[in-house]
C-alpha cells in the first residue's frame, strides 16, 4: 500500500491566531490544501461557527469532503478562490490564503510539479481542466515561452531556455516528462546560485502560468474586500516574491485614504484596509520544514469604509 503523502502546514498557529477566530464567526480557508489551517480554525469555532473552503485540486477536495461529512460546520467548494466573489457581501469574519503548491502536490510524481521526480509534464492544480504544461510547450512560440519563463520565473536565461526547448521539439519531438524538461533547462542554463537546481525558476514559471496563479490571486484579493465584514481579518501566506509583491501592494493601496484629483476640496475616501503585521517563520520551523524558509505572511483588517 502506498504511504499517503504528508504536508506540514506553514505558519499554522501564527496564521490562525491572526484571524482572531470568534466562536460564532464565519471564516474562509481560500486554499484548503490538506486542511491543516481548516482543522485548527474548526477547533476554535463553536456550534454556531462556519468555515467555507475552496480548492481546485481534486485530491484536496476528497480530503475536504471527508472533513465536511465529519463536521457539518464545514463546507468545501471545488473551485479556485477567485470564486469568493460569488459569496454574499460582508459575510466573512476572516479569510486565509495559503498560496502556492502543497507538499503532496510537489512530492507526487504523477502531478508533474517537481524536477526532482520524473513524471508527466502536467502541473495543473486541477488535472481535469485546462491545458497541461506539456501541451502548451508543444505549441508555444519561442517569444511566448521566453516571456513566461522570464516574467513568472524571474529567469535571466529565459531566451536561451526557450530556444533550447524549441530545438528539442524539432530534433526529438515535444517534451512529455519533467525529467526531459529539466535536462533541457540544465543544458541551457550555464550558471546558477550554489545549491539551486537550474530548473527551479523555469518550473515555477510554467506552474504559475498554466494555473493563472497571479491573475487569480489579484481577483481573490479584490473579492476579499467585498466579502469581509468590518473588523474581519485578511491573512495571506506567500512563498515567492511575485506573490508577495501583489499582496504587499494590494494592502498598501487600500491602507491609505484616496483623494479625488477631480475634486481637490472633497473629503478623501477612507481606507478599506488597515495593515496589521508581516510575519516570517522562525528558525525552529524552517529547520523542521525547509520549504517554510521563503514564506511571508501579511495580515490586514477590514475597516468600515465602502469597498472601492
Q: What CATH number has the domain bearing residue 263?
A: 3.40.50.150
Pairing between strand 50-54 and 296-302?
A: unpaired
pTM of the model: 0.90
Q: Is residue 100 part of a domain?
A: yes
Question: 282 among the known binding-site residues?
Answer: no
pLDDT of residue 4: 43
Tell me, yes or no, whether 181 and 254 share the same domain.
no
Cα separation, 20 vs 16, whole angstroms: 7
Question: 98 among the known binding-site residues?
Answer: yes
Domain boundary pick from 210, 237, 265: 210
Average pLDDT of 194-213? 92
Query: What are the helix (H) ranges across the chain?
Result: 12-19, 36-44, 58-70, 103-107, 133-139, 142-153, 158-172, 178-188, 200-210, 213-227, 241-253, 283-288
pLDDT tens string 266-304: 556 678 999 999 999 999 999 888 888 899 999 999 998
Band (pLDDT 50/70/90 cuts) for residue 195 is confident
Tell me, yes or no, whether 240 and 204 share the same domain.
no
Residue whose C-alpha is closest to residue 211's, from 183, 237, 243: 243
pLDDT of residue 265: 59
pLDDT tens string 244-264: 999 999 999 999 866 556 656
Higher pLDDT, 308 or 72: 72
Tell me, yes or no, whether 30 and 96 share the same domain.
yes
Average pLDDT of 216-221? 98
pLDDT of residue 89: 96
Tell me, yes or no, whether 145 and 280 share the same domain.
no
Q: How many CA atoms lie within 13 A of 64 on its CB side?
A: 26
Average pLDDT of 116-131? 93
Q: Is residue 230 part of a domain?
A: yes
Question: 59 among the known binding-site residues?
Answer: no
Tell me, yes or no, whether 25 and 171 share the same domain.
no
Question: 81 among the known binding-site residues?
Answer: yes
Give CA separation, 74 vs 18, 41, 240, in Å: 20, 10, 30
Give CA separation, 288 vs 9, 18, 237, 278, 284, in Å: 11, 22, 18, 21, 6
- Domain ranges, residue 241: 12-104+213-302
Whether the CB-CB separation of 132 and 124 falls below 8 Å is answered with yes
Q: Is residue 119 part of a domain?
A: no
Query: What are the helix (H) ranges across 108-210?
Result: 133-139, 142-153, 158-172, 178-188, 200-210
Number of domains in the chain: 2
Question: 7 among the known binding-site residues?
Answer: no
Whether the CB-CB separation of 216 and 242 falls below 8 Å is answered with no
Tell me, yes or no, whether 217 and 206 share the same domain.
no
Amino acid at each position: 500500500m502506498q504511504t499517503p503523502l504528508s504536508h506540514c502546514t506553514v505558519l499554522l498557529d501564527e496564521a490562525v491566531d491572526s484571524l482572531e477566530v470568534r466562536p460564532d464567526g464565519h471564516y474562509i480557508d481560500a486554499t484548503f490544501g490538506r486542511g491543516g489551517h481548516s482543522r485548527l480554525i474548526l477547533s476554535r469555532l463553536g456550534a454556531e461557527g462556519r468555515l467555507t473552503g475552496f480548492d481546485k485540486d481534486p485530491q484536496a477536495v476528497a480530503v475536504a469532503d471527508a472533513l465536511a461529512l465529519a463536521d457539518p460546520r464545514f463546507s468545501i467548494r471545488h473551485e479556485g478562490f477567485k470564486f469568493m466573489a460569488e459569496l454574499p457581501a460582508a459575510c466573512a469574519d476572516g479569510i486565509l490564503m495559503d498560496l502556492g503548491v502543497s507538499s503532496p502536490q510537489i512530492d507526487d510524481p504523477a502531478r508533474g510539479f517537481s524536477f526532482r521526480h520524473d513524471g508527466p509534464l502536467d502541473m495543473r492544480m486541477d488535472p481535469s481542466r485546462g491545458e497541461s504544461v506539456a501541451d502548451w510547450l508543444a505549441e508555444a512560440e519561442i517569444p511566448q515561452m521566453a516571456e513566461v519563463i522570464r516574467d513568472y520565473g524571474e529567469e535571466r536565461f529565459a531566451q536561451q531556455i526557450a530556444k533550447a526547448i524549441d530545438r528539442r521539439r524539432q530534433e526529438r519531438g515535444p517534451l512529455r516528462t519533467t525529467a526531459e524538461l529539466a535536462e533541457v533547462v540544465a543544458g541551457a542554463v550555464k550558471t546558477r546560485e550554489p545549491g539551486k537546481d537550474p530548473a527551479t525558476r523555469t518550473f515555477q514559471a510554467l506552474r504559475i502560468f498554466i494555473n493563472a496563479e497571479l491573475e487569480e490571486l489579484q481577483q481573490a484579493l479584490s473579492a476579499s474586500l467585498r466579502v469581509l465584514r468590518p473588523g474581519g481579518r485578511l491573512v495571506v501566506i506567500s512563498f515567492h516574491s511575485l506573490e508577495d509583491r501583489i499582496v504587499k501592494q494590494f494592502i498598501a493601496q487600500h491602507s491609505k485614504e484616496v483623494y479625488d484629483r477631480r475634486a481637490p476640496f472633497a473629503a478623501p475616501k477612507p481606507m478599506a484596509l488597515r495593515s496589521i503585521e508581516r510575519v516570517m517563520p522562525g528558525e525552529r520551523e524552517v529547520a523542521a520544514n525547509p520549504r517554510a524558509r521563503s514564506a511571508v505572511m501579511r495580515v490586514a483588517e477590514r475597516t468600515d469604509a465602502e469597498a472601492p
